């Protein structure tokens, strides 16, 4: 690690550390579940680090600039949550034509599956992969993927009913 990198890291830490608590509070007040606030803070810090050379030198300007970055990170996070909710609704439509079920029920139903089956369903329904293709991603033979997907759909129908 070069001396310039160490100086940059120290400068970053000294200037950004006082902003971490206010940024975390910003996210905690705006995202659910609360653990997502920590993820948003981490992403904000990554963006600040990557753009450190462009950050304002003045502490007040840096604070405002950091909250601007946080605002964009939050917008991306909320878009992702909305996208996942829409995809969950689509998954429910594919599993059971009762589109009025809530996203929470879908997520709860998905938790009844083991991790591998849950990921198989998500790859097929949310990401648009074919059954054999999704199976390949998970290291399953096509026939095994089809069997697992069929059992997973049945289990989801049962959990939602």
Distance separating alpha carbons of residues 101 and 15, to the nearest angstrom: 47
Q: Where do you find CATH 1.10.1740 in the chain? A: 3-83
Handedness of CA 51, 52, 58, 61 (dihedral sign): positive
Q: Where do you find CATH 1.10.10.10 in the chain? A: 96-160
pTM above 0.95, yes or no: no
Q: What is the pLDDT of residue 75?
A: 92
Q: What is the pLDDT of residue 14?
A: 93
Computed over its alpha carbons, how large is the radius of gyration of the chain? 21
Q: Mapping DSSP to helix (H, G, I), strand (E, B) and coil, where does residue 149 land?
A: helix
Distance separating alpha carbons of residues 156 and 107, to the nearest angstrom: 10
What are the per-10-residue average pLDDT scores of the chain (161 residues)? Answer: 52 93 94 91 96 91 93 91 73 54 74 89 83 87 92 88 74
Q: Does domain 3-83 have CATH number 1.10.1740?
A: yes
Determine the straight-line distance between the first and last CA of the chain, rounded to whole angstroms: 58
Which CATH fold would you assign to the domain 96-160?
Answer: Arc Repressor Mutant, subunit A (1.10.10)
């Amino acid at each position: 690690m070069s001396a310039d990198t160490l100086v940059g890291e120290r400068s970053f830490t000294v200037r950004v550390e006082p902003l971490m608590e206010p940024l975390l509070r910003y996210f905690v007040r705006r995202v659910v579940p609360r653990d997502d606030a920590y993820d948003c803070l981490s992403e904000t810090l990554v963006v600040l680090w990557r753009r450190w050379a462009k950050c304002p030198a003045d502490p007040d300007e840096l604070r405002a600039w950091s909250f601007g970055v946080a605002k964009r990170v939050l917008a991306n996070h909320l878009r992702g949550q909305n996208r996942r909710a829409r995809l969950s609704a689509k998954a429910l439509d594919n599993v059971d034509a009762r589109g009025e079920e809530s996203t929470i029920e879908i997520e709860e139903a998905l938790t009844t599956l083991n991790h591998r089956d849950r990921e198989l369903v998500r790859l097929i329904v949310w990401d648009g992969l074919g059954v054999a293709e999704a199976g390949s991603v998970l290291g399953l033979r096509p026939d095994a993927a089809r069997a697992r997907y069929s059992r997973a759909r049945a289990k989801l129908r049962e959990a939602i009913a």
